Amino acid sequence: MSLRPQSSAARVLFTLDGPWQFQPDPDDVGEAAGWTGGLPAPRPIAVPASWNEQYGDLVHFFGAGWYQTRLDLPPRAPNSVAQLHIGSAFYRCDVWLDGEYLGGAEGGYLPAIFALGERARPGSRLVVRVDGRLSPTTVPSAGQPSDPRDVFASFDQQFPRVGFDFFPYCGIHRPVRVTVLPEHHLTDLTVVTDPEGSDGVRVRVRVERSDARPCTLRLSLCGQELTMALARQHDEATIGLTAPRLWSLETPTLHDLRAELWDGPHLLDSYQLPVGLRWVELRDGLLLLNGRPVRLRGFGKHEDFPISGRGLVQAVNVRDFDLLRWCGANSFRTTHYPYSEELLDLADQLGVLVIGETPAVGLWFGEGWERRLERCQELTAGLIARDKNRPSVIIWSLANEPMSDRPAAEPFFARLFACARALDPTRPLMLVSWRGVEEAAYAHADILGLNRYAGWYSEQGQIERGVARLKAELSAIHAHYGKPVMLTEFGAEAIPGLHAAPPEMFSEEYQAALIAAYLDTTEALPFVIGEHVWNFADFRANQHTTRVGGLNHKGVFTRDRRPKLGAHLLRKRWRGDTDGSPPTLLPA
């Protein structure tokens, strides 16, 4: 994974966001017909954004779609390196420049990076084919054969038929950029903070670069400078700091780590990385940040908004963090895939904790599970490589609601968790399951995530019975595994404006009453380290008899971010007041 694109004294960055040209390819004939060199009948389209909500005829189009734009790079320094970065294209993308194939990438939620080499010239045509089709072998998946062992068999009746309960948006969803690097450049930085003594820290910096050419590394952090000779492609340096300002919920201080490569008096490369000095650990059943207990309260979310679909909209991200803080939330989980780097920038800046989750939602363990394991290992490695330096990201979640009632599930997760621990031993690992105490893969996780909808999907309309079941299940899980437990999803659908007294299902009152009863239950259990309401905001789902208007209405905010009674209930509990005015966004 290359470093995130940025401009510096040695690097140049260009954005290709804006209007592109687009042509759907429902019969998948584009490559054979020569569309790699240019589209015969394109229409305008916005990038980044999903294609499904930009045109009426594309709402339920999940096949191959072709994008093209003009690429004009100014003259480059000799031997410089040009790279194309596509932040997210769901599900697979393939790229051509002036008809020459640059490569492809699969997965949809992590950056795809392509070397432009010397091919780019003024007026070059960049063509990107995005294929939104999912299959039983992809992660996430669709179209797997029905089996009574797989709990989500009812998904067979939804449209479109996929193995998860949210809309499978397609398109280029995050920024497209070109970065021009010097010939000899940094390729990766890994920063780890360890406590040292009563008030100091030791910051370990692993440096990787494009080659082993002898040069000098200069690091600067918090006024401390370190200079060392490099003769290998990767090396590690340590910087000791006394009484630095730590990153925390209350004071999310970011320090700039500057890394430079020098050849005598000549600057070869320069990169600046925001660093939050903090450490995370589990001890005595508690989640600790910088040695202090923290309880997670917040939400599951989705990248979802009208018109843009899953596409990045910076204003929506800013508003969402404002509303998170308005509620008094301190965290969220990136359900059920990695979110944009731009959103995580805000989490770093504002002191919001993040559980980073892979796209392994609704995993099934039938035929071909070995290939899905390979994909999950690749996606886990990609997520860790991208977000390992973010202070806000404190836990890795390796899967959500796997259909794990099959013999292959436990060895599958044994290998996946071992892979993640080898890549990052500094963060706890989580598995989020619906199965409760019967989830054998819990044995491999550090934190046990439970999704539970008693009082909604079961014990319908009976909140008191639902929370009694919840308490018994949570206690049984902890007694069996002896590990911290987190209630990772709970909630009820509330149709905006629907009211009932006494509370009845689908009313705003019922949603608020269920949330309150769940919190009363879990907050009294010392082994529960937090609760995330499902969901922050209503989001687009697949058409089904339980999805009124094609939306999942479990949000405490509407899809356009208007609060329901549940949001006001959470504000009262988490902030201790009922004042409706939103707080200032920036931390004090």
Q: What's the length of the chain?
A: 588
CA distance 534 to 270: 42
CA distance 286 to 281: 8
Tokens of 421: 């621990």
CA distance 503 to 575: 24
369 backbone dihedrals φ, ψ, rounded to 5°? -65, -25
> What are 67's strand-pairing partners?
22, 128
**What are the residue numbers of the active site?**
401, 489
E strand or H helix at 373: helix 369-387
177 backbone dihedrals φ, ψ, rounded to 5°? -135, 155
DSSP code of 157? G
**Treating both helix axes as pointing N-terminal to C-terminal, what angle do 341-350 and 314-327 enclose, rounded to 10 degrees?**
40
Burial of 122 (0-12, 13-18, 19+ CB in 10 A): exposed
Q: Is 66 within 8 Å of 35 (Cβ atoms)?
A: yes
Q: Is 203 within 8 Å of 246 (Cβ atoms)?
A: no
CA distance 561 to 201: 41
CA distance 563 to 291: 35
280-283 sheet: strands from edge to edge = 280-283, 286-289, 292-293
Tokens of 132: 């939104």
Radius of gyration of the chain (CA): 24
132, 136, 546, 323: CA torsion to nearest 10: -60
What does each C-alpha distance from 322 to 347, 391, 565 come to in angstroms?
11, 19, 18
Task: Determine the straight-line distance between the first and last CA of the chain, rounded to whole angstroms.
Answer: 35
